[in-house]
Chain A
């Protein structure tokens, strides 16, 4: 279902943009008939395996690798001592405050280990089996240090320290105050004058990105040139950072991301193992490979989320919101990786959501703990913000005894108010929250389900029904380079594309936005087919190899289409402009008299005479006859830097059945209507929505990375770290409204993260709506059957026993405290 503002004309020529094309890359990706990094075999290639720390915090008191060196087929064994002078530190590109404390992140531990799974030794052998076997022969002793796991304890005076070199476990204190920034009024005054305030403490549990293809890296050595193949989202950033970290000159390092099997932000990283593969290959002068096991991946690849959120909202009795205060404790883990500190800071601007708060203050402490570092995970900062605001809007509605949708409607930005500058200083581009909401209510069958809910309540049915709302927006399409600069991010947010017209008229599109499953090849082909008027099948999209695509900033933050796709449009415009001069020459006409349509230049008013752009490609390849003063090429390159983010929005509604006898929750129906601007390919959009919804719902219901009291990851396999399958998820009823983005010529807003950002609070709100009348005030994510059952049978949030097992968040305390208490 699509609601558009403008009626489409019946005579419009068939466009590729908007066409539900099947993805051209899928056959090879799904059947595996492609080169995944782990498929790579180089002559003489050696294999790396890691000894990893089994303890969370310790000094390495004894480390003897001699027995491992004597094992069959072992070529070398290295420890931190071998690389301490050349390994540098894993880069952190986002120092969110000038005085942020970064203790440095060695790729391999030298004297101390700071989380379970940290690399302690590397075995290099002729076979992978030999390398794994020899790891067991390493003799190592640890002297344990106090383990820091709970953020609220870690920030107290006198707390045990993760890093002895620091004075506290707080890496940074980041503040955004709308009053000080001039984008809002004084927050303290707003709360002082509030008629109603509601305060909550929410926990964003730690999550694991759980991409399908485990991480893998292969390094080839050609003299003093190195090629790093890696299952990464960011070959371009990895090249720069890899060069800076290892000292390999940037022009001597080529990075290739071949087809990559998913990332969700988990491969937006400069991984210690990638750096170590480069160092080992350089030391030995031999090609090496490392591919992680799934348990290695869960334990050592970066995690996501992990925040304690204290949030206060101020309002008038009529429901008008007057102020918002947020204070976060954000778990950095043991080290700062690429954008670890920036994830919660990025979320700072999204807590006000779609509402017209006049006053807003945000504070965040980044906190070190003895756990694997956190970093980007689908949504990165925005799901956390969306959860907090959409949950507390429901809490405010309960406090005021208002309908939760009415409360939202009273406070959201009206369609006529766009573009709208928010209290956080963002300019929302376009949208209509009422229209999306109406469509979602219809998709869900809201009135019928409300009637059934009432009936079940009255009859005391053991299965209760609830409906949860999430009216969300997010900022994506990362990002305007100047804005990123103002946020102290270490890079820009432009994107690059080039178009190469081959002699036979076929087209190569080189994109700097590297896909890892999103369908760039299909979408870019559709865009180019329209821009150049060539057949979809005649377009090939090249990506991921810094020797082919020298400039790019890769794929994350729902940026590819919005920024990278626009760069493709700009490059295509240049191709047409260059071809126009040649067409004019060959058609013996003035450039001004030429029309370009459907891939053909024709002379206005002269039917029949025309020249196709694919013919021009051949003509300029031969170059026998072209105008003086121009180059013999119609190839073109373009970079695009957006002036603003794009702001997808939507209304998500979840109907939830709660079995009050067992605590089991089951989604009865899920409906969402998203506005992501112009849609290039509806099937790709649908796929992104489904995947995002699955991940957002999984945070609400299934996933949690749990460490035990000693800092061991107890959810170390997929037996304990629960991912849902299609069998566990409902049919998704999705729709779209279309309000074009104003910051790019495609009119596209990002879609990659929307479902994941929006869905989590809708699901939790739905479960609470089902059982709130039974005395339940909150249930911590994930909503395990036991937590739901304890909340129902004990009331409130179920108490400490409902939170048993996840010990990093200070027992239960899910709801009763807000910022005031946190400040004590």
Chain B
């Protein structure tokens, strides 16, 4: 298909981008790789007045350290992430999930920030960001910056805390170093398909005890979710098949997944329990 006509801006700095967004009229779409936006425009499900393409905003691309945090620029591509040494060292959960995103062509253009700002609950990175308690750094009109925690960033289906005129600049995630084990357990029918359900788990062991557990659920509702009951059951528990299995049995608590061609809601909840068990077992080194 051919998209409806639109105005196109390609800024080179964040300030220029903010100005282009402000000047873009009623319906502005920010293109951060275009792997979701372009298909919906081609199908004419979206027909924005202006597209602001961030591809040339180089200050938004790259990964750096800041104390205990990894700071990932919003325009860092998935393939950048997979090649980045800091991510390899401190962001293994992000790397594992990113590896499963679509196919090499999509990972080459699609971006970390774009995937998060799109906030598709079936996307792989929102649940990871939520599990990691990521901080979203947002620039507003005039350049003012604010920070939003992941728990407040994902508002609804394809809806985030980003206001009109705002731009996601970077995402800060805690470094997961020594003692942490991770696993992104993705369940889909073919390699390039979206997750039916996926579970992002990060577990820190102290000896034979689980000290911390972070579990994010992909596609178990209109936003990414935390498996809070499971996390609570795991913290302080002995690392054993029994405790993990018992804790995982609570993974679907409070979820309201949708029913679609790939799965009905009760099956999704079943999968969430099974996959959480598998993800936590792997992350805990069982």
Interface positions of B (Cβ within 8 A of A): 1-2, 4-5, 43-44, 103, 187, 189-194, 196, 259-264, 267, 270-271, 274-275
**Complex interface residues of chain A between 713 and 741 (CB less than 8 A to chain B):** 714-715, 717, 719-720, 722-725, 727-728
Q: Is there a chain B Cβ closer than 8 Å to A785's Cβ? A: yes
Question: Contact at A661–B274, with CB atoms within 8 Å?
Answer: yes
Question: Contact at B189–A785, with CB atoms within 8 Å?
Answer: yes
- Minimum CB–CB distance from B225 to chain A (whole Å) comes to 19
Question: Contact at B191–A789, with CB atoms within 8 Å?
Answer: no
Q: Which of B43, B103, B263, B264 lies in contact with A295, CB distance below 8 A?
A: B43
Question: Contact at B187–A662, with CB atoms within 8 Å?
Answer: yes
With CB as the reference atom, state the residue of chain B lying closest to A715: B261
**Complex interface residues of chain A between 528 and 547 (CB less than 8 A to chain B):** none
Question: Contact at B1–A295, with CB atoms within 8 Å?
Answer: yes
Contact residues on A (Cβ < 8 Å of other chain), bracket: 20 to 34
Q: Is there a chain B Cβ closer than 8 Å to A109's Cβ? A: no
Question: Contact at A662–B271, with CB atoms within 8 Å?
Answer: yes
New A-B pairs, 14, CB < 8 Å, besides A129-B5, A784-B189: A132-B2, A133-B5, A293-B1, A295-B1, A661-B274, A662-B271, A664-B187, A717-B43, A722-B190, A725-B103, A727-B191, A784-B262, A786-B267, A801-B264
Cβ–Cβ < 8 Å partners of B43 in chain A: 295, 717
With CB as the reference atom, state the residue of chain B lying closest to A804: B264
Whole-angstrom distance between the alpha carbons of A717 and B196 in the complex? 17
Cβ–Cβ < 8 Å partners of B4 in chain A: 133, 136
Cβ–Cβ < 8 Å partners of B261 in chain A: 706, 714-715, 720, 805
> Given A129-B2, A728-B191, A786–B264 Cβ distance below 8 Å?
yes
Question: Contact at B196–A785, with CB atoms within 8 Å?
Answer: yes
Whole-angstrom distance between the alpha carbons of A765 and B4 in the complex? 48
Whole-angstrom distance between the alpha carbons of A786 and B261 in the complex? 10
Question: Contact at A725–B189, with CB atoms within 8 Å?
Answer: no
With CB as the reference atom, state the residue of chain B lying closest to A787: B267
Q: Is there a chain B Cβ closer than 8 Å to A83's Cβ? A: no
Cβ–Cβ < 8 Å partners of A801 in chain B: 264
Whole-angstrom distance between the alpha carbons of A717 and B194 in the complex? 13
The digit string for A787-804, where 1 denotes a CB below 8 A from any CB of B, is 001100000000001001
Whole-angstrom distance between the alpha carbons of A728 and B188 in the complex? 11
Whole-angstrom distance between the alpha carbons of A293 and B2 in the complex? 9
| Residue of B192, B259, B264, B267 with most chain A CB atoms under a 10 A cut-off | B267
Cβ–Cβ < 8 Å partners of B270 in chain A: 789
Whole-angstrom distance between the alpha carbons of A501 and B261 in the complex? 58
Q: Is there a chain B Cβ closer than 8 Å to A201's Cβ? A: no
Question: Contact at A702–B264, with CB atoms within 8 Å?
Answer: no
Q: Which of A295, A725, A789, A804 lies in contact with B190, CB distance below 8 A?
A: A725
Whole-angstrom distance between the alpha carbons of A725 and B190 in the complex? 8
Whole-angstrom distance between the alpha carbons of A132 and B1 in the complex? 8
Q: Is there a chain B Cβ closer than 8 Å to A128's Cβ? A: yes
> Given A662-B274, A722-B193, A725-B191, A786–B263 Cβ distance below 8 Å?
yes
- Minimum CB–CB distance from A618 to chain B (whole Å) comes to 52
- Minimum CB–CB distance from B82 to chain A (whole Å) comes to 16
- Minimum CB–CB distance from B163 to chain A (whole Å) comes to 29
- Minimum CB–CB distance from B37 to chain A (whole Å) comes to 15
Question: Contact at A722–B194, with CB atoms within 8 Å?
Answer: no
Question: Contact at A723–B190, with CB atoms within 8 Å?
Answer: yes
- Minimum CB–CB distance from B193 to chain A (whole Å) comes to 6
Cβ–Cβ < 8 Å partners of B259 in chain A: 804
- Minimum CB–CB distance from A474 to chain B (whole Å) comes to 27
Whole-angstrom distance between the alpha carbons of A714 and B259 in the complex? 14
With CB as the reference atom, state the residue of chain B lying closest to A127: B2
Q: Which of A129, A133, A702 lies in contact with B189, CB distance below 8 A?
A: A702
- Minimum CB–CB distance from A722 to chain B (whole Å) comes to 5
Whole-angstrom distance between the alpha carbons of A133 and B193 in the complex? 31
- Minimum CB–CB distance from A729 to chain B (whole Å) comes to 10
Whole-angstrom distance between the alpha carbons of A725 and B189 in the complex? 11
A-B contact pairs, 16 of them (CB 8 A): A129-B5, A132-B1, A132-B2, A133-B4, A295-B1, A295-B43, A662-B275, A722-B190, A724-B190, A725-B103, A725-B190, A727-B191, A785-B196, A785-B263, A786-B262, A804-B259
Cβ–Cβ < 8 Å partners of A661 in chain B: 274
Question: Contact at B2–A128, with CB atoms within 8 Å?
Answer: yes
The digit string for A757-791, where 1 denotes a CB below 8 A from any CB of B, is 00000000000000000000000000011100110
Cβ–Cβ < 8 Å partners of A784 in chain B: 189, 262
Q: Which of B190, B262, B263, B271 lies in contact with A728, CB distance below 8 A?
A: B190
- Minimum CB–CB distance from A700 to chain B (whole Å) comes to 13
- Minimum CB–CB distance from B83 to chain A (whole Å) comes to 20
- Minimum CB–CB distance from B259 to chain A (whole Å) comes to 8
Whole-angstrom distance between the alpha carbons of A725 and B191 in the complex? 7
Question: Contact at B267–A722, with CB atoms within 8 Å?
Answer: no
Whole-angstrom distance between the alpha carbons of A158 and B1 in the complex? 41
With CB as the reference atom, state the residue of chain B lying closest to A805: B261
Whole-angstrom distance between the alpha carbons of A352 and B5 in the complex? 58
Question: Contact at B190–A719, with CB atoms within 8 Å?
Answer: no
**Complex interface residues of chain A between 155 and 194 (CB less than 8 A to chain B):** none
- Minimum CB–CB distance from A820 to chain B (whole Å) comes to 33
Cβ–Cβ < 8 Å partners of A662 in chain B: 187, 271, 274-275
> Given A133-B4, A714-B261, A715-B261, A789–B192 Cβ distance below 8 Å?
no
Cβ–Cβ < 8 Å partners of B267 in chain A: 786, 789-790
Whole-angstrom distance between the alpha carbons of A240 and B260 in the complex? 45
The digit string for A642-677, where 1 denotes a CB below 8 A from any CB of B, is 000000000000000000011010000000000000
Cβ–Cβ < 8 Å partners of B191 in chain A: 725, 727-728
| Residue of B5, B189, B270 with most chain A CB atoms under a 10 A cut-off | B189
- Minimum CB–CB distance from A69 to chain B (whole Å) comes to 19
Whole-angstrom distance between the alpha carbons of A276 and B191 in the complex? 39
- Minimum CB–CB distance from B281 to chain A (whole Å) comes to 13
With CB as the reference atom, state the residue of chain B lying closest to A782: B189
Whole-angstrom distance between the alpha carbons of A722 and B193 in the complex? 8
Which 8 pairs of residues, A with B, have the shortest CB-CB distance?
Answer: A727-B191, A728-B190, A293-B1, A132-B2, A786-B267, A661-B274, A805-B261, A786-B263
Whole-angstrom distance between the alpha carbons of A293 and B3 in the complex? 12
Cβ–Cβ < 8 Å partners of A723 in chain B: 190
Cβ–Cβ < 8 Å partners of A804 in chain B: 259, 264
With CB as the reference atom, state the residue of chain A lying closest to B277: A661
The digit string for A802-816, where 1 denotes a CB below 8 A from any CB of B, is 001100000000000
Whole-angstrom distance between the alpha carbons of A805 and B261 in the complex? 6
With CB as the reference atom, state the residue of chain A lying closest to B192: A725
- Minimum CB–CB distance from B152 to chain A (whole Å) comes to 29
Q: Which of B5, B187, B189 lies in contact with A722, CB distance below 8 A?
A: B189
Whole-angstrom distance between the alpha carbons of A209 and B274 in the complex? 35
